[in-house]
Structure 1
Amino acid sequence: MGTIRVNNIKVFTNHGCLDEEAKIGSEYRVDIEVKANLLKSAKTDILKHTVDYVHLNKIAKEEMAIRSKLLEHVAQRIINRIFKEISMVKKATVSVAKINPPIGGNVGEVEIILSKKRKS
């Protein structure tokens, strides 16, 4: 088993419950961690034998472009697509952070983290 991380995917989009969040948008950061058997790719040096991090980045950006009221919702969509599209992933953890959230205080970011294991 091995781990692949794609960290600090930066996206500007419009998630949130407030009407003004839909209009003005915010900056977000997405981090993805997947667990998979990487022994074959370590031996063969062939891309199709691993989890392509370009694919993970594409999933994150596409799902972040679809408006959600809650960060949990968009993170779950990212996880669902990872499991649907990349069969070798055994576990995925996705964090989505809203940078400088409009919550009436000096807060750098709010972050949610979801994890899921593939059922055998």
Structure 2
Amino acid sequence: MDKIVLSGMEFYGYHGVLKEEKRVGQPFIIGVEMFLDLLPAGVTDDLTKTVHYGEAYLAVKKIVEAENFDLIEALAQRIGEILLQEYPLQKVRVIVDKPLAPVPGGNLAARIEIEREK
């Protein structure tokens, strides 16, 4: 299966269970793998036969920066839903990194990964 990979997308968002996370915000690093048949685009050199990754980037950016979730699992789910809805994907994999996740006594890097199919 072919895929388009967007990795290392860095955004600032207000996701988390703690009040302080919702007030101050923090960075999030998002990666997506969009699975689809890329043969038509490769043969025709036609952008309409693939996913315009600039537009996909903007869709992810809008979700991370404009919406709010308690859980990064919910953030990943929303990203996956929108990408599957907006683009001719067969499957999507979403990775959400929360590099400054607060824990008692400090921070740790938390990551979740999900896969969703049509």
Q: TM-score, normalised by structure 2?
A: 0.93
Q: In 1, distance between residues paired with 2:102 and 2:26?
A: 9
> Aligned residue pairs: how many?
117
- The letter of the residue matching 2:62 is E
Match of 1:52 in 2: 52
Task: Give the unaligned 5+ runs of structure 1.
Answer: none
1:85 corresponds in structure 2 to 86
How far does residue 104 in structure 1 lie from its aligned partner after superposition? 2.7
Shift of 1:59: 1.5
| Cα drift, residue 85 of structure 1 | 0.8
* Partner residue in 1 for 2:17: 17
Partners of 1:114 and 1:107 lie apart in 2 by: 23
Q: CA deviation at 1:105?
A: 4.9
TM superposition outliers: structure 1 runs of 4+ over 6 Å: none
Change (3 A) 1:106 1:17: closer
Q: Which residue of 2 aligns with 1:69?
A: 70
Identical counterparts, % of pairs: 27
Instruction: Specify the alignment match of 1:114 in structure 2.
Output: 114
Q: Which stretch of structure 1 is more off in the superposition, 89-98 or 105-114?
A: 105-114
| Gapped regions of structure 2 (runs ≥ 5) | none
Q: CA RMSD in A?
A: 1.3
- Relative to the length of structure 1, the TM-score reads 0.91
